[in-house]
Chain A
């Protein structure tokens, strides 16, 4: 399986943010997107996720389910956590499991996800009580409550401490080791096992 971007040109407003970008991410691999603010990291991720229609070129998932769009086979974690404050931690995770996943072992999955991100002791608390870092971890726990081959993460370590970042790195490594692939926009180096780096600033072609 591989995620392929072919000759992408993406506009935001009247500005061409990305022009003539092609790459492929194979199963078992993580691609780190780097570049200054405004280099187009978020725009590229949202294009891969299918929210933004590229002006030219296309994104496809080779070896995926042809019936589904790339977005339907991907976890997208953006700047927001998609956490409901008046639901408990467990209810938040259980909702995303019920909504995104059709698998059988719902409770097991939710339990594993919360445990991995160190939230099992907090599971009965409303999410409103969580700190910013804990909310981020709950947002990231969505990656584990449903199985999806493609992970698209935008600055996932924002507001995470070192220990939590390591938990995230472990989750991404598990994911790639079991045949998943990931594209991660980050400005901090992440200690991933099999990662390549794509610097978007260097891709810029002066007009």
Chain B
């Protein structure tokens, strides 16, 4: 009994802290998102080349940024789980994976929507889009592996191992995709310089999306901790009944 509370001690402190932080982060995300959207859609000029479609960038770039940041966060959490056996690290990794996959998907979707007027087609095998696509596959692998294993503690550790393997291979994948891209379609550079008038809305949107992610991540972590508590209580209840039955039989 006592050991169970000991194990939950850390998450308990986290629950208190996150309950206090969550409203502030959520409010910050909402305010910045509103301001960022205003800047992106009303207070910034259309691009002289891309026209109004440039505004997709204000969604696309923050999503692409988050797709990488969240994978790094998962890798860091996985390291924390495997090396320090920190119980919160696994909760963090588990909560972050679907969010990361969602932002990666949004990055692909907005990239494709932006590509239609720019390239005349929804999908171009551009080096960066291809890398993001493979990153999306890595997220799917993490989610699928975790859901395929019944033993939760084993699932946590195995998923953590996969995340660390992924983060080790990711630079090699990025490098190989860049190499492949220059090999097949040399010198198509879409990375035009960012106009100063775009910088502020981009920055605001990037911060707003990051706050949005952390708000959702904290909320998902809280849900996961509550789910685990319910599960632990249920297991105890079952074990308790078993014990009563055993005593009754003797």
A179 shortest CB reach to chain B, Å: 38
In the complex, the answer to whether A14 meets B232 with C-beta atoms within 8 Å is yes
B236 shortest CB reach to chain A, Å: 7
Interface check B151, CB cutoff 8 A: yes
In the complex, the answer to whether A14 meets B1 with C-beta atoms within 8 Å is no
Inter-chain contacts of A56 with B (CB < 8 A): 3
In the complex, the answer to whether B151 meets A13 with C-beta atoms within 8 Å is yes
Inter-chain contacts of A9 with B (CB < 8 A): 3
Contact among A14, A55, A206 for B243, CB-based, below 8 A: A206
In the complex, the answer to whether A206 meets B235 with C-beta atoms within 8 Å is no
Minimum CB distance partner of A55 in chain B: B3
Interface check B239, CB cutoff 8 A: yes
Bitwise, A1-30 to B at CB < 8 A (1) or not (0) is: 000000001000111100000000000000
Quick one: which of B151, B239, B240 has the most chain A CB within 10 A?
A: B239
In the complex, the answer to whether A207 meets B3 with C-beta atoms within 8 Å is no
Interface check B231, CB cutoff 8 A: yes
Bitwise, B134-165 to A at CB < 8 A (1) or not (0) is: 00000000000000000100000000000000
Give A207 to B2 CA distance when docked, in angstroms.
Answer: 10
A14 shortest CB reach to chain B, Å: 4
Minimum CB distance partner of B153 in chain A: A13
Give A207 to B243 CA distance when docked, in angstroms.
Answer: 9
Bitwise, A47-60 to B at CB < 8 A (1) or not (0) is: 00000000110000
Minimum CB distance partner of A56 in chain B: B3
Bitwise, B169-212 to A at CB < 8 A (1) or not (0) is: 00000000000000000000000000000000000000000000
Minimum CB distance partner of B228 in chain A: A14
In the complex, the answer to whether B1 meets A13 with C-beta atoms within 8 Å is no
Q: Tell whether A14 pairs with B231 under 8 Å between CB atoms, given A55-B3, A207-B1.
A: yes
Inter-chain contacts of B247 with A (CB < 8 A): 206
Inter-chain contacts of A16 with B (CB < 8 A): 3
B230 shortest CB reach to chain A, Å: 11
In the complex, the answer to whether A15 meets B235 with C-beta atoms within 8 Å is yes
Inter-chain contacts of B232 with A (CB < 8 A): 14
Give A14 to B3 CA distance when docked, in angstroms.
Answer: 11
Give A102 to B156 CA distance when docked, in angstroms.
Answer: 38
Bitwise, B85-109 to A at CB < 8 A (1) or not (0) is: 0000000000000000000000000
Inter-chain contacts of B240 with A (CB < 8 A): 207
Bitwise, B235-250 to A at CB < 8 A (1) or not (0) is: 1100110010001000
Besides the known contacts A14-B236, A15-B235, 15 further A-B residue pairs in the complex with CB atoms under 8 A apart: A9-B3, A13-B151, A13-B235, A14-B231, A14-B232, A14-B235, A15-B239, A16-B3, A55-B3, A56-B3, A206-B243, A206-B247, A207-B1, A207-B240, A207-B243
List 17 A–B pairs whose Cβ atoms lie within 8 Å, in order of A's numbering.
A9-B3, A13-B151, A13-B235, A14-B231, A14-B232, A14-B235, A14-B236, A15-B235, A15-B239, A16-B3, A55-B3, A56-B3, A206-B243, A206-B247, A207-B1, A207-B240, A207-B243
User: Which residues from chain A sit less than 8 Å from chain B, CB to CB?
Assistant: 9, 13-16, 55-56, 206-207
User: Which residues from chain B sit less than 8 Å from chain A, CB to CB?
Assistant: 1, 3, 151, 231-232, 235-236, 239-240, 243, 247
**Shortest beta-carbon contacts, A-B, top 5:** A14-B235, A15-B239, A14-B232, A207-B1, A206-B243
